[in-house]
Structure 1
Amino acid sequence: MEKVLEVKDLHVTFTTYGGEVQAVRGVSFDLYKGETLAIVGESGCGKSVTSQSIMRLIPSPPGRIADGAVQFKGKDLTKLKESEMRDIRGADISMIFQDPMTALNPTITVGEQIIEGIMQHETISRQDARKKTLEMLNLVGIPNPSERLKHYPHQFSGGMRQRIVIAMALVCEPEVLIADEPTTALDVTIQAQILDLFKDIQKKTGVSIIIITHDLGVVAQVADRIAVMYAGKIVEAGERREIFYKPQHPYTKGLLNSVPRLDLDGADLIPIGGSPPDLFAPPAGCPFAARCNFAMEVCDRVYPYKTHLSRDHHVDCWLQDERAQKMLAGVK
C-alpha cells in the first residue's frame, strides 16, 4: 500500500506557570492511501494535540513541537514556514474540528465560506468555484444546495452543520482528512448518518482519514487500523479485528471492558480505576502501571520495548516479555 503520511517520534510540549507539560511523547504511526486510521483513548491522552501538530495548529507559545517529524510528500511538515503550511492546509491535508458551530463563521453564508476556501487554493473563477461548491454540498447530502448555500450556519441543524464542515474540508480534494471527534455533539441517529457519509465519500474520492475519538462504537464502524493512546504515547496499534478480538495491552482491554454490551445478559461495566499520570512529570516506566492489575516491579522503572505480534499489530507492555509469559503460564 502507498504510504501517504508518516509521523516519526513526535514530541509536543506546553510551557505553563506550573512547568512543562509533555502532552505527546514519542508518537509514531503511518497512514496509507484510502484507509481509515482511528486514534482512540480517554480525554487528555494527547489525541487532539497529535492531530493539531500534524496541521501545525499548536499555538506557540505555549506549545511547541519539541522533536520528531511529520513526513508528507517528501517534506517534513514540522520544518516548513507558515506560508508553506497555509498552502498545504485545506488543499492537501484538511481537518474537521470537534464543534461544527464554532468551526463556521456565523456572519457569513456557508456557500461563501466554502467558495472562499476553494479560491484560496485554486486558480479558478468564482462561477466555477460556486459550481464546485454545489457539487460538494450535493455529495454530502445537503438537500436543495443552490438555495442552502445562501443560508447562515444558525439556519442548519447540528447534523447539517457537520455535513457543511465535511464539505469545506473535502472541497479541494485533499489526500488526508483529519476528523477530530466528528460525531461527539450529535445524537445517535445523526452519528450513524455521518459515519455512513465518511465511508461513502472515501469510496468515491480515495481520501485517507485519521479519526480521533474516544467512542469505540464509532471505531468499530469505520476504522481499518486502530492506535490506542495513553498518557501521550501509542501503547498498542493494529488492525481493527486484532484490537477488538485480540487486545494485548491492559489499557486496551480496560477500554473494551468499559463499553456497554447489549448482546450479553447481565454484563457489567468494568471501569478502569485510578487516574492518568501527571504529564508535568511523567513516570519513567509504563504510564499505565499505577492502574494496572498486572503491574510488575519493572513496569514502574523502565518503559517496555515494542513487541510486534503481526505485521500491523504491536504493543508496548512488559507482559509480552517471555519471562512474564512463563510466569503467567505458571499461574494458570
Structure 2
Amino acid sequence: MEEEVLLEVKDLHVSYKTHGGEVKAVRGVSFLLKKGETLAIVGESGCGKSATSLAVMGLIPQPAGRITGGTVSFKGQDTVKMSPKQKRKNQGVDMSMIFQDPMTALNPTLTIGSQLTEGIVHQKRATKAQARKKALEMLALVGISNPEERMKQYPHQFSGGMRQRIVIAMALICEPDLIIADEPTTALDVTIQAQILELFNKIQKETNVAIIMITHDLGVVAKVADRIAVMYAGKMVETGDKRAIFYRSGHPYTQALLHSVVRLDLPSNTLKPIEGAPPDLFSPPAGCAFSERCPFAMEVCEHVQPPTTTLDSHHTVDCWLLDKRAVENRQKVENLLNQGESS
C-alpha cells in the first residue's frame, strides 16, 4: 500500500520587502512529502531553502515577509489560510523545527529540564510529572547520558554536539509528524556531524517521523535522504530519489554541485568550483536562472522558463537541454559529425 502524503506544497511563492525593493525568495516551489520519509532540500546560500521551510512552518517574519501565492497542505489542511491561533497549534505539536545554531535556540537562563518540559505542558496539557517523564525519555532517546542530572543543568554546561541533541529532543517531545531541520550539522565538527546524522536515522526508524533536511552539504544528503530536491534562485530545478540525483543527475546545476564536492576516490584537481554568482532576486531572469553560469546554455534558456521533464516516476528536471526538440537537434548534430568522420 502506498504511503500517505503528509505534506503537499503547490506553486509556493514567498517575497520579502526591503529598502531596495521586493526580493522574490521562493518562486513557484512544489513538492510532496510522505509519512516517515526524508526529503533533503539542497542548494547554495540564498537559494530559498530556509524561506521554503519557514513558509511550511508558518514562521515567515511579518510584515517584511509574506506568502504571495500557492498552498501548503499539511494533513489535508491549507496552513497558509490558517489563523495565527491555528498555526500556533500546529507549530511544535504536529510539526517542529530544528535551527542550525543550537546555542541561539536554547535559553541560556533556563535549565534544560524547564525548556524541555515547557512545550509539552502548554501544548499537550501534560502534568509536570508527565512532562518530566517524557523529557527524560527524550534525552535518553537522543543519547544524553545521566538525564536526571542533565535536566538540572544550563546550556553553557554542554558541548555543541550535546546542545544539538537537546534541541532535537525538544523538537520530538510533542511527538510531531514532521520535523524540519535547517542546516542541523553546520556548526559541528565532522565527527559530531556523523553522530547527529546517525541519530536522525535512528529517530526516524523508531518514531516514523517525516523529515525535511535543509542543507548545502551533499555529504549530509547522502547519509539521510530518501529523496532530494535541488533549489536554485528560488526554484526547484531537479527532484528525484538519492540514486537518481547522485548517479543520473540531469540538470547542469546539480552536476556542477556534485563536481564541487571533494571526493576521496578522485584526484584533487577534479574539484570544479561553480563560476559566477546567482542572479539578483529583486529582478529574477525571465528564463532559466542558471543560464548565465551554465556551460551548455542556449538562447532559449535566457528568455523562457524551461519546462519540467519527467525522466521517470520519481525524477524530474527543469532544463531546456532535456526538451524533446533539443534532444532531437543534438542527435542530428551528432549524426552529422559521425557521418563526417566516416567519410
Counterpart position of 2:10: 8
Counterpart position of 2:236: 234
Amino acid at match of 1:166: I
Q: How does 1:1-332 map to 2 (within 5 A)?
A: 1-329=3-331, 330-331=333-334
CA contact (8 A) 2:136 2:147 kept: yes
Distance of 1:133 and 1:247 partners within structure 2: 43
Distance of 2:154 and 2:112 partners within structure 1: 6
Amino acid at match of 1:70: V
Distance of 1:10 and 1:137 partners within structure 2: 36
Distance of 2:214 and 2:307 partners within structure 1: 25
What is the TM-score normalised by the length of structure 2?
0.95
SS at match of 1:303: coil
Identity among equivalent positions (%) equals 66
Distance of 1:113 and 1:81 partners within structure 2: 26
Distance of 1:60 and 1:89 partners within structure 2: 17
Q: CA deviation at 1:266?
A: 4.7
CA contact (8 A) 2:240 2:316 kept: yes
Q: Which runs of 5+ in 1 are unaligned?
A: none
Q: CA deviation at 1:267?
A: 4.3
CA contact (8 A) 1:285 1:300 kept: yes
Distance of 1:297 and 1:148 partners within structure 2: 61
Aligned residues: 332
Distance of 2:23 and 2:274 partners within structure 1: 23
SS at match of 2:330: helix
Amino acid at match of 1:10: L
Q: Which runs of 5+ in 2 are unaligned?
A: 338-343
SS at match of 1:7: strand
Distance of 1:266 and 1:232 partners within structure 2: 31
What is the TM-score normalised by the length of structure 1?
0.98
Q: Cα deviation per residue 1:112-164 (whole Å; 9 max; x = unaligned)?
A: 00100111111221011100100000000001000001100000000000000
Distance of 1:81 and 1:266 partners within structure 2: 53
SS at match of 1:284: coil
Q: CA deviation at 1:323?
A: 2.1
Distance of 1:328 and 1:209 partners within structure 2: 40
CA contact (8 A) 1:261 1:267 kept: no
Distance of 2:275 and 2:325 partners within structure 1: 27
Distance of 1:131 and 1:267 partners within structure 2: 54
